[in-house]
Amino acid sequence: MTIRTKYLGWLLLVLLSGSGCKKWLDVNPKTNVTQDKLFNNEQGFKDALVGVYTQLASRPLYARELTMAFMDVLAQNYSVTSNFHIYNKASQYNYTDAVTRLKIDSFWICGYKAIANINNLLEAIDGKRDIFKGDNYKIIKGEALGLRALIHFDLLRLFGPVTAAGEGATAIPYMTQFAMVVEPAKTTGEVLNLCMKDLNEATDLLSVYKTVVYGVEDPFLSYTRNHFNFWAATGLKARISLWRGDKTNAYAYAQELIKAAVFPWVSQSNISVGVTDASRTFPTEHLFAVYVSNLKDINTELFRAAAGTSNVLTNSTTFINNRFDIASGGTTDYRYAFLWKTDGTSSTKYPAKYLIDDLQYAGRGEWRVPVITLSEMYYIAAEAGTNTAESISLLNEVRAHRGQSALPNTLTTEQISAEIFKEYKKEFYQQGQLFFYYKRLNKPNIEGYGQPVGEAIYVLPRPNDEIEFNN
């Protein structure tokens, strides 16, 4: 090993030990046992996988910044005009601002930390296959491979080039080994191919357990939606295929999920009931969601902070009314009627998707942040399909389960695209998907931002250390 490689490995170790994520090699958050002991039995592999899910449920990743906070700020979903607001510079796409840069760096650092822990598990699991009961070897390995693809793809969406640059453009490293080495960045096409390779292997392995359950006798097999299950892997294949412009496969994967009919639509009665037991995240529709034990605290920090503070994320009543087409019958939309609250007579509204009351009934999906959902599969199939009548029907299926009237069957292709855009803006509030929609289509404008946008806004800067030492 060269001196330079040793130095870079040490630097990477130091770098990955900060930024508010779990410790490097924190494969088992519950104990301090060594890796050799950890992987001596099946429970050790389960604990290591739980450690990865815990990392994904951290504030820098899906519990906050990648879903309801930073990414939705980039999509102009909130009013953060005060110069003192912690997200003000992010809303202006000032990526050199110190606070904003720390958040961006944490995506890279925490993402690759989680990938390192996944790779550590994957390197150990094949040699210990005989210690697993039933299908647990396949399930654990399948979930790990699927999660590796998920994180790499989101890092690509964050730090990779715009889709218009083509698949030959340099993107990000794709890490498949647990080692202190500096991996050169791969092209967009190589990253996407490796994501699909991992997902194909994941679905092969996870096909042994396609059951969707809330709870079973085996705790490890409980709450399917909180595991990166077979259906989540299939849904991610659809999302990736659409990103790369492969509409044929995007449509096929989305339809596979739709036709399977294993994720029921949320019922209105489970949304509109009292604050103590409302299911505002539509949990039955989650293909994959992360369990966030401190979600109430995060929700309070972001949306319900003490009066007079300047860092809450809200928007004006006028903005929300326009977003949900209130002048055209949008008042019946569940996403408007039940997911927004107003403080007294205030002219601002705060989103209530993750509002959790102390007495809330713990059985309908609270404490979970959706990452991939059933509705997205309908939108993907509607966009990727070639039959306009079918696309309209797919959109109307979602609308029917959101309290909306049906679209006319005379819409043109352009009008269907416009309706899909409207749906992304309504459906994925607090889920971080809208900015990626803008980037995928390389849209020249982001609604709510008064200037043209392009690569400088759509491509987040990599950490300075990564640029300096992995050029």
- The tens digit of pLDDT for each residue in 181-193 reads 778 999 999 999 9
pLDDT at 115 (0 to 100) = 97
Instruction: Check residue 222 and give its pLDDT.
Output: 85
Supply the DSSP symbol for 116.
H
Residue 466 has pLDDT above 70, yes or no: yes
Cβ-proximal residues to 62 (8 Å cutoff; 6+ apart), any chain: 56, 290, 292, 369, 371
On the question of pLDDT at 76 being above 90, the answer is yes
N-to-C CA span, the chain: 19
Whole-angstrom Cα distance, residue 153 to residue 149? Answer: 6
> What was the pLDDT predicted at 465?
75
The tens digit of pLDDT for each residue in 373-417 reads: 999 999 999 999 999 999 999 999 999 999 999 999 999 999 999
Helical residues (DSSP H) of 96-135, grouped into ranges: 98-125
Per-residue confidence (pLDDT) for residue 464, from 0 to 100: 85
* Higher local confidence (pLDDT), 136 or 16: 136
Contact between 317 and 287 under an 8 Å Cβ cutoff? The reply is: no
Can you give the C-alpha Rg of the chain in angstroms?
A: 22
Residue 431 vs residues 62, 132, 205: alpha-carbon distances, Å? 9, 36, 28
Give mean pLDDT, residues 273-283. Answer: 73
Strand order in the sheet with 348-351: 315-316, 348-351, 340-342
pLDDT for residue 109 is more than 70:
yes
Q: Does the pLDDT of residue 256 top 60, yes or no?
A: yes
Overall number of domains in the chain? 1
Task: Give whichever of 212-221, 298-307, 428-437 has the largest mean pLDDT.
Answer: 428-437
Give the confidence band of 180 by pLDDT, cuts at 50, 70, 90: confident
pLDDT over 90 (residue 170): yes
Q: Which residue range(s) make up the domain with 38?
A: 3-469
Q: Residue 344: is its pLDDT beyond 70?
A: no
Per-residue pLDDT tens for 432-444? 999 999 999 999 9
Give the mean pLDDT of 6-13. 34
Helix (H) or strand (E) holding 467: helix 464-469
pLDDT of 359 > 90? The answer is no
Model confidence at 237, pLDDT cuts 50, 70, 90, reads: very high
* SS3 label, residue 255: helix
pLDDT at 360 (0 to 100): 46
Residue 5 confidence class, pLDDT cut points 50, 70, 90: very low
Residues in the chain: 471
Q: How far apart are CA 467 and CA 313, in angstroms?
A: 32
- Mean pLDDT along residues 102-113: 97
Find the range with the poorest average confidence among 49-63, 153-167, 282-296, 455-469.
455-469
Q: What is the CATH number of the domain that holds 277?
A: 1.25.40.390
Question: CA 292, CA 261: separation in Å to the nearest integer?
Answer: 27
Q: Which residue has the higher pLDDT, 38 or 97?
A: 97
Q: List the beta bridge partners of residue 372.
A: 288
Say if residue 124's pLDDT is above 60: yes
Burial degree of 250 (CB within 10 A; 0-12, 13-18, 19+):
buried
The whole-angstrom separation of Cα 163 and Cα 368 is: 31
Query: Regarding beta strands 315-316 and 348-351, do their DSSP bridges make them parallel or antiparallel, or are they unpaired?
Result: antiparallel
DSSP at 170 = B
422, burial (CB in 10 Å: exposed 0-12, middle 13-18, buried 19+): middle
What does each C-alpha distance from 363 to 153, 272, 276, 360, 451 come to in angstroms? 31, 16, 11, 9, 45
Coil vs helix vs strand at 351: strand
| Three-state secondary structure call for residue 340 | strand
What does the pLDDT look like over 10-34, one tens digit per residue? 333 333 333 456 443 334 344 445 6
Q: Output the pLDDT for position 32.
A: 45
CB count in 10 Å sphere of residue 12: 21
